[in-house]
Structures are given as structure tokens and as C-alpha cells.
Amino acid sequence: MGAVPKNKITSVERGKRRAGNRPKLKKDVRVTKVPLHKRGLMASFSKLFSSKKNQNKKTATK
């Protein structure tokens, strides 16, 4: 095997160019929060009521 010519793109470089040379970062759905604009009306109601229940439990235990 000889030296690679100066202008030749190697297969590794070709793969990087196809991939856009960006790291693939996958978000863990269990950890990340859903943005407010994507939360539904029922989700906001359930969150509101669950927080009230938690507050009632905390005051009852004190």
C-alpha cells in the first residue's frame, strides 16, 4: 500500500461528511422535561391537582 494522494477523500472522511460530522445525542425521555408548549390541557390539570394533593398530605403530616 502506498501513500494516499493529497486530494483523495478517505472512506472515513466520506462517512463523516455524510453524517454531517455531528455527534448523535439522544435524550433520555425519563429524565428530560416536556416543554410547556407541548404539554396538553389535561396534563396541566393533572399536574395542578397532584400538586394540591401533595400539599394537603404535607400539611396533614405536620
Distance CA 6, CA 58 (A): 71
At position 8, the amino acid (one-letter code) is K
Under a CB-based contact definition with an 8 Å cutoff, are residues 39 and 45 in contact? no
Whole-model pTM?
Answer: 0.25
Sequence ranges of the domains in the chain: 38-62
User: pLDDT, tens digit, for every residue of 35-50?
Assistant: 766 778 777 777 788 7
List the pLDDT tens digit at each of the 62 positions of the chain.
Answer: 677 677 887 888 877 777 665 666 776 667 777 776 677 877 777 778 877 666 665 555 55
pLDDT value of position 53: 64
**Which residues fall within 8 angstroms of residue 39, CB to CB, at 6 or more apart?**
47
